[in-house]
Structures are given as structure tokens and as C-alpha cells.
Chains A and B, each alone.
Chain A
Amino acid sequence: MKLLTHNMLTSKNMKTVTTGYPLIIQARDVKVMEVEFRAEFISRMIPKIDWECLCRAAEDLGHLNDLPKSVPDNYENDEDFLKKAHHVMLEVEVINGDLICPESSRKFPVTDGIPNMLLNEDEI
């Protein structure tokens, strides 16, 4: 599960939950892999992600480094920034661990990089 994907996951569909975001990551196995850098993809993706959630997740995994706390103006032309964003969004993967709902503490396991977000009938 890349952090880009984690950025899209919520537990809001649980009946007791109001926001359910961001999910807290408790990782057991994290993998860092090289992914081809595509400036345009990152640039187009930035407006669609929650930057604060991305930073928090990167920090939890020990990969925050010098990632800026907020998206700079003119980020589309800032290759240095885009590369840092690329690394965090696409190159850091949680292979095994849990995602935890911040409101209900319900754990969603991540196994082999696949988050299991399926709820039980009584949770919906």
C-alpha cells in the first residue's frame, strides 16, 4: 500500500464514525522501492491529495525527511519538491501492518500490501 493509496482511505462508512480520516498507520513491514519519476503525474496529483495526511503518514513511517509541511506556491515547476513528493507518495509501501480508525480504534489489516477495509454487517 503506497502512501498515495493510504491518502484515499477512510473509515467514514462505519456507522459510529464521523470523519474516519486520516487512518493511523501501524506498520510492521515497510518497503522502499524505486519508481520512475513522472513530474506531470505528481504535479496533477498534488491538488487531489490531503498534504497534511501525507506528511503525517510519512512521519509515522520515518520517511518525512525534509518534506515541506505545506505545498509551495508554483509547485508545478519545483522539481526538487516534486521529487520529494514522488518519493513519499509512490516509493514507500506498507507491506504488513494495520490501519487504525482514529475514532473507533478499529483495525484494518494490511497484508502483502493490500489493505482489508471490508466491514462486518453490524459495522455499517
Chain B
Amino acid sequence: MKISTPNTPHLAQPEFQDVYEPAEDSYLLLDALEQDLDTQSPLLVVEIGSGSGIISSALSSCYPEAIVLATDVNTSACQATLNTASLNQNKNIQVVRTDFLQCLWDRVKGKVDLLVCNPPYVATDEVELGSKGIEASWAGGHLGLDLTRRIVENLNEILSPNGISYLVLEQCNKPDEFIEEIRTEHGLTCEKVLSRRAGREFLTVIKIKR
């Protein structure tokens, strides 16, 4: 499935300085999705932490027959996502400012066909968590797995019966151990889709389903 990289020239504007600009991790996720997504047609696509909106926009273009809910805690990111959608002619994206789908949970649980997240994966102290600004895009707490683990713990509840999730991991997350945790503690299927070195980071996109 061919995925064109959405245009995001507006991110250079000062109002978006607090928004995570697409980087190697974003592009790796796009490449992984392009490589791995099949012709299944999801109805409800959700992104946690949409940032610039580049991933949601790409998915929206891929799946015009779906509704894409892009969420973020950062106000600027929400606006950036909206602008990205508009610039790339995406008609089926909706943006909501929320923390971890909290305001959507009760209504979307069991219905999400595709859940995507490029999480804050950098290992940090707990005290750096809780920001709603740019730090929220990288501060990942212990082993950098704070948000990632929270997603995995809730996947059984949020995914539809054939729902799939794609997440980005970095080597500081100890991916092999974490994948094992996903399999044994949550009874989910998990595989690596694509890996790439990016500077000092070594990134891996994983795919999780029942």
C-alpha cells in the first residue's frame, strides 16, 4: 500500500515551535505502515499523540473510507494536526485534545480497528512526566515505556476483534523484553515490522494484535 508523506510546511511557523517535528521515528513508522498495512479496511482509526499530524494524515489518505481520530495533550499539536489535515486534503480526520483517549474510552472501547502511536520513548525521570508541551513528545519515564506500556495494558479492551496496533520502540525500551512481556503477560501477538538506526537511536516498529 503506497503511502505519500504528507506536507507539513506550516510547522516552521512560531506557533508550532512546541510541536514535535517529523523525524526519523515518524518516517520509520510511515515506512512500516506502508510495508505492512494490507487491504483490510478499518472503520475507526485512532492515533495517540498525533503531534504534527503526519501519521494521521497519511492514514487518512490511505483510508478515505475510515474516520481517523487524532488525539494529543498539546494544544499546538492539535492545531498542527488540523492544519496538516487541511493542507493534505484529508476530509476524514477529527482532532480531540485529550490525555490517552480518556474522554473517548467508554465509547470507542472494542471498536478501534487501527491504533497507532509514536510514543514518547526516551527514558526519563518520573518528574519529567505530565507536561502538556513539547516534553510530552519525548519524556517516557522509566525505560521510556510509560505511555507505551499503558497502551499495551489496555489493548485487549480498546481494539476491535481484528484490530491492530503499531507502536514505535527504541533500544532503551529493551524491545525484546518488552515484546516478550506483550506476549506472555497480555496474551497478544506481537512482531517486529521494521527497524532502523537513526543517529544514536535504534528504532523498531512493532505490530500487535490478538
Contact = CB atoms under 8 A, between A and B. Distances in A.
B53 to A, nearest CB: 12
Interface size class of A (residues with CB under 8 A): 20 to 34
Interface string A113-124: 111111100001
B105 interface: yes
Interface stretch (A32-40, A66-74, A77-85): A32-40
Contacts of A116: 75, 97
Contacts of A35: 91
B82 A44 contact: no
A7 B98 CA distance: 15
Interface residues of B, number: 28
The listed residue with most B CB atoms (<10 A of its CB), out of A44, A48, A114, A115, is: A114
Contact of A115 (B66, B96, B111, B132): B96
14 contacts: A4-B94, A9-B103, A9-B104, A12-B105, A13-B102, A35-B91, A41-B66, A41-B67, A48-B43, A48-B111, A113-B95, A114-B96, A114-B97, A117-B96
Contacts of A113: 82, 95
Contacts of B79: 112, 114
A2 to B, nearest CB: 6
Contacts of A114: 78-79, 82, 95-97
